[in-house]
Amino acid sequence: MGDPRKQRKKYKTPRFPWRTDVLRGELALMGQYGLRNKKELWRYKTLISKFRGNARSLLSLSGGQQERMEKELVNKLRRLGLLPETAGLDGVLDLGVADLLERRLQTAVFRKGLAKSLHQARQLIVHGHIALGERKVSFPSYILRKEEENELDYVSTSPLSNSDHPLRKSIETVENEVGEQADSSGVSK
């Protein structure tokens, strides 16, 4: 069983860590999703690897047990918002790390427009300004479930819940500038 005070690694490191293409790919994902360090990225790669490994092992099974376990895995990934409603076991095999990184709370806060940047989104979450419904969530790596997407907002006791707060106004001006640039270039948001 092990000692509960001694945490175990929740990630596997790359087999060839110094390959240039691996390093560039990891660095690009870290910048794109505002990750703090490579351990965060490796944790999500390991999680996706486990989902895909489970799907491969289910493909080798047959009978009722396979159907039941397949349904459980696919339903779990649908609740997390990683798979569309019509996807099956083949959809699990097509998952990538970017799909899981899109479901992080940090990314959702930025995409919803509650922060100017991914780094500011992380700061707002860690400092306790973001809530899911009535519950304050203070860790940016939280995987947002599909039904929680609409509940994302500022904490009611936070100074940021006031729409006249200077930070909120600066976020709105950045959004307006981005929208104007997209309109002038002909690209939709």
Residue 91 and residue 113 share a domain: no
Residue 116 and residue 70 share a domain: no
From 68, 97, 126, give the residue that closes a domain.
97
Residue 82 and residue 30 share a domain: yes
**131-140 pLDDT per residue, tens:** 999 999 999 9
From 97, 121, 136, give the residue that closes a domain.
97
How many CA atoms lie within 13 Å of 68's alpha carbon, on the beta-carbon side?
3
From 97, 119, 149, give the residue that closes a domain.
97
Phi, psi (5° rounding) for residue 153? -165, 180
pTM, entire model: 0.87
| Closest listed residue to residue 51, CA positions, set 82, 75, 79, 73 | 73
Residue 116 and residue 86 share a domain: no
CATH classification at residue 153: 3.10.290.10
pLDDT at 1: 56
pLDDT at 187: 56
Three-state DSSP at 12 gives: coil
Tokens found for residue 57: 């092992």
Residue 78 and residue 35 share a domain: yes
**111-148 pLDDT per residue, tens:** 999 999 999 999 999 999 999 999 999 999 999 999 99
pLDDT at 189: 47
pLDDT at 93: 93
Residue 172 lies in a domain: yes
**Cα gap 13→16, rounded to integer Å:** 9
pLDDT at 2: 67
**Cα gap 20→145, rounded to integer Å:** 34
Residue 167 and residue 119 share a domain: yes
| Closest listed residue to residue 124, CA positions, set 133, 134, 136, 135 | 136
Domains in the chain: how many in total? 2
Residue 114 and residue 92 share a domain: no
Residue 148 lies in a domain: yes
pLDDT digit string (tens) for the chain, length 189 residues: 568 888 888 999 999 989 999 999 999 999 999 999 999 999 999 999 999 999 999 988 888 888 999 999 999 999 999 999 998 889 999 999 999 999 999 999 999 999 999 999 999 999 999 999 999 999 999 999 999 999 999 999 999 999 899 999 998 888 787 777 777 776 554
Residue 110 and residue 181 share a domain: yes
Which residue range is the domain that position 129 belongs to?
Answer: 105-185
Tokens found for residue 42: 């490796």
